[in-house]
C-alpha cells in the first residue's frame, strides 16, 4: 500500500501533467489536501511530506484535530492552513470564524454577516469563496450563477472577510469532456465577477474546483485550487463528528 507521502507525489505529478496539457505553469494551481474524517497522524504525515493546506468539512472534528496537531507537532502545526470546505450552519459560524483561515462554501449574505461579526480582531481576514451551484440541483448548496455577482458585491464590503474567488462541487460527470463543461460554468462566473470592477476584489484570484476524479478537467477549465482527499489519504473512513 502506498504511503501518504507517495500518494502526494503522485497527485503532484498529475497536477503538473494537467498544467502542461493546458499550457499553464504548475505554480498557478494549489493543492488542498482534504483531510476530513482522517486523524491527526494522517495530517501530520502529509505535513511532513510538504503539504501545508488542509480541507475539513466537520467543524468540531476539525477543531479537535487542530488542537491534537498542536500538541503533536508544535511549530510545524502553526504553519498549516485550514480551509472549511463543507456547508456551515448558522449556529456553527463561530467555529469557522475563530479557527479557520479559509471558507470555500459561502452561499448567502446572512452567513457572511455572522462570520464578519465573529472574526476575532487579532486574526487576519477570513478568506472566503462563493460556492456556486453550477448544476442547478435543488438539493445542493451554492448560490445560483445568476445571483453570484450580487452576493459578491455585498460580501466584498464586509469587514473581517476577504472575498477571494469562486468554488463549485458539480455532480459526477461521465467523462472528461462533460467534467470540463461543468467546470467551465463556474469559471465563467469567476471571470464575470473578476471583470465587474467591484470594489473590494483586489485579491479575487481563486477558482476552487476539481477533486481526485476530475482534477485534470478542472485545471483545463482554469482551476487555481484542487481539493484532493482519497487520492492522498486513501478510502475515507466513516464520519464521526458533525
Q: Per-residue confidence of the chain (242 residues) as pLDDT tens digits?
A: 799 999 999 999 999 999 999 999 999 999 999 999 999 999 999 999 999 999 999 999 999 999 999 999 988 899 999 999 999 999 999 999 999 999 999 999 999 999 999 999 999 999 999 999 998 766 678 999 999 999 999 999 999 999 999 999 998 999 999 999 999 999 999 999 999 999 999 999 999 999 999 999 999 999 999 999 999 999 876 654 44
pLDDT tens digits, residue range 141-156? 899 999 999 999 999 9
Closest CA to 123 of 98, 102, 103, 106: 98
Number of other residues whose CB lies within 10 A of the CB of residue 142:
26
In the chain, the domains with their CATH numbers are 4-231 (3.20.20.10)
Q: What pLDDT score was predicted for residue 74?
A: 87
pLDDT tens digits, residue range 105-118? 999 999 999 999 99
* Cα–Cα distance, 235 to 216 (Å, whole number): 20
* Cα–Cα distance, 173 to 157 (Å, whole number): 36
Q: Is residue 128 a contact partner of residue 106, using CB atoms and an 8 Å limit? A: yes
* Cα–Cα distance, 152 to 156 (Å, whole number): 6
Amino acid at each position: 500500500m502506498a504511503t501518504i507521502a507517495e500518494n502526494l507525489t503522485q497527485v503532484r505529478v498529475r497536477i503538473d501533467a494537467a498544467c502542461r496539457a493546458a499550457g499553464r505553469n504548475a505554480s498557478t494551481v494549489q493543492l488542498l489536501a482534504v483531510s476530513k474524517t482522517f486523524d491527526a497522524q494522517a495530517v501530520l504525515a502529509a505535513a511532513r511530506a510538504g503539504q501545508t493546506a488542509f480541507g475539513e468539512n466537520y467543524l468540531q472534528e476539525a477543531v479537535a484535530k487542530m488542537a491534537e496537531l498542536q500538541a503533536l507537532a508544535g511549530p510545524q502545526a502553526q504553519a498549516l492552513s485550514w480551509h472549511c470546505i463543507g456547508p456551515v450552519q448558522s449556529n456553527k459560524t463561530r467555529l469557522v470564524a475563530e479557527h479557520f483561515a479559509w471558507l470555500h462554501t459561502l452561499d448567502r449574505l446572512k452567513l457572511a454577516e455572522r462570520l464578519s461579526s465573529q472574526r476575532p480582531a487579532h486574526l487576519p481576514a477570513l478568506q472566503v469563496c462563493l460556492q456556486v451551484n453550477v448544476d442547478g440541483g435543488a438539493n445542493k448548496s451554492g448560490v445560483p450563477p445568476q445571483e453570484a455577482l450580487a452576493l459578491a458585491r455585498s460580501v466584498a464590503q464586509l469587514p473581517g472577510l476577504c472575498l477571494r474567488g469562486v468554488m463549485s462541487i458539480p455532480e459526477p460527470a461521465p467523462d472528461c469532456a462533460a467534467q470540463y463543461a461543468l467546470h467551465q460554468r463556474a469559471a465563467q462566473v469567476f471571470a464575470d465577477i473578476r471583470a465587474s470592477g467591484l470594489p473590494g476584489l483586489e485579491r479575487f484570484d481563486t477558482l476552487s474546483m476539481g477533486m481526485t476524479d476530475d482534477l485534470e478537467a478542472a485545471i483545463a477549465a482554469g482551476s487555481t485550487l484542487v481539493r484532493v482527499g482519497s487520492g492522498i489519504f486513501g478510502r475515507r473512513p466513516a464520519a464521526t463528528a458533525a
